[in-house]
Amino acid sequence: MSEEIVILPEKVDKLYETLKRWAKSTGYNLNPDEEFTRGLVEGLLINRQRYGYQSCPCRLASGDKQKDKDIICPCDYRDVDLADWGACYCALYVSDEVLRGEREIQSIPERRPPEGRRSWERSAQHEQRN
């Protein structure tokens, strides 16, 4: 059985503040629910320690960075989810409408194609055949 990963609150605080500054400077918004958002940040840190990269804390990572590159936070689906749903899949990032209270966060459907149907897999399969 694997060891439990414990993340120190100071590390969560540091990454939370870094993400908050980065989001603001690039025109994005972190979820205003600080307790919820800090839980997601802790999940990013757990995944960083577990896999060596910050995969989305709400998706199952394979442990292979190349296979998971589309779900390394911020994931490839963030912008389209923000536009369509007002939040990314895990709701770490939210739209201006959500931030202003004009739109509620709702359940967001998974956009990530199932394993075996991801674009990088199709490219690799094509290269192997040629």
Q: What is the pLDDT along the chain (130 residues), one digit of tens a residue?
A: 567 899 999 999 999 999 999 999 999 999 999 999 999 999 999 999 999 999 999 999 999 999 999 999 999 999 999 999 999 999 999 999 999 999 999 999 999 998 887 776 655 544 554 5
| Burial of 90 per CB tally in 10 Å (0-12, 13-18, 19+) | buried
Q: What is the pTM of this model?
A: 0.87
pLDDT digits (tens, 9 = 90+) for 24-62: 999 999 999 999 999 999 999 999 999 999 999 999 999
Structure tokens at 72: 């390394």
> Token match 């442990």: residue?
63
Q: 57 and 47 in contact (C-beta within 8 Å)?
A: yes
The reported pLDDT for the residue numbered 118 is 75
Per the CB < 8 A criterion, the answer to whether 45 and 38 are in contact is: no
